[in-house]
Structure 1
Amino acid sequence: GKVLSPSRKREAVDHVVETLGATERRACRVIGQHRSTQRKPRVPRQDEDVLTAAIIALAERFGRYGYRRITALLRQDGWHVNEKRVYRIWRREGLKVPMKQPKRGRLWLNDGSCIRLRPTHKGMCGRMTSSRTARMTARCSVCCVS
């Protein structure tokens, strides 16, 4: 695959220097990596672990929230954090928003009729009487016989 990130390019330059015996200057030029980037080690931020723990805690507490909403909550808590950084941590930790549950079937129809109406309290009969004309005009009378 392509070598895109600076860390992958660093590894590629080191590999070329070790296997082919090329100089670091030439290997960096061929791969397209600046030598200052090659020599400067990556220093992780000091608050990375604390931020990761905060993101995981918020993701557990608010299960349906995505990384953008979690970023907003972190900012409300006083974190100076970028959405891209939260997204990077989100992917690294394997966090995902669960799929939405399918909507359940309705107990009524949208035309205003009460054909599938269920009893709302004990003792209410489930029988419904309606004439054909009442059904056509979406008016239905419920008769409860106990």
Structure 2
Amino acid sequence: MPKHATILAVNKHLHPVRLATYSSRCGNDPYLTLELYKWNLQVRIYHPRKRAGISSCPQIEADAPKVVWAMDFQFDSTVDGKAIKIASMIDEHTRQSLLNIVERSITAQRLTDELDKTFALWGGPPLVLRMDNGPEFISHVLQQFCRDRVGISYIPPGTPWNNGHIESFNNRLRKECLNRNHWTSLLEARVVIEDFKDDHNHRHRHSSLGYLTPAEYAAQCTHNHQPVEGCEID
């Protein structure tokens, strides 16, 4: 004869009234079953607190180009259900998109390899990389790569608004690109996402940049960075 725990585990999708009726038919006290059901709803699930990365620079304002580059990941999938992971990075001052990695998975080593290429392409690293506390970002591999080369500024766990520029970029990428396409292959996703990021740099005009494109703004920007106390790389 099924007991309360078995009934709750197997039939947790049932409406409480139907659950009590079924429990009664099994010879159990329906009121006790309902009490256990309500208690189960109130049980708080423990989620381990995210480990926070150790920043080498404080939260600073991107007052010039190549001061703060912000990174983040997004996920999508091909029509066969296989995952796609997308790495993006922007210059917070110019809003330029600087990085495009589209793979099934992205390791910390792959990320640092691509960062190395990006630094070379853009004439060196920025002052600071801003990112959340994702496993790739707080990894020993990335920490070693950045040491004596570029500062790291981790946002507090659970505060995506502290990385607002890349969040805004990712929201636009989601709405205007990812949600409008059904990827038949990883290659298709790579090509279309790369085209979107190129369009963002050279054709998308930003009101915050005086209605210039990021590339146009970067070409004429003359702002200079003011050093910030507490940044080990500054």
TM-score (norm 2): 0.21
Higher strand share: 2
Q: Considering only CA atoms, is the larger Rg found in Structure 1 or Structure 2?
A: 1
TM-score (norm 1): 0.28
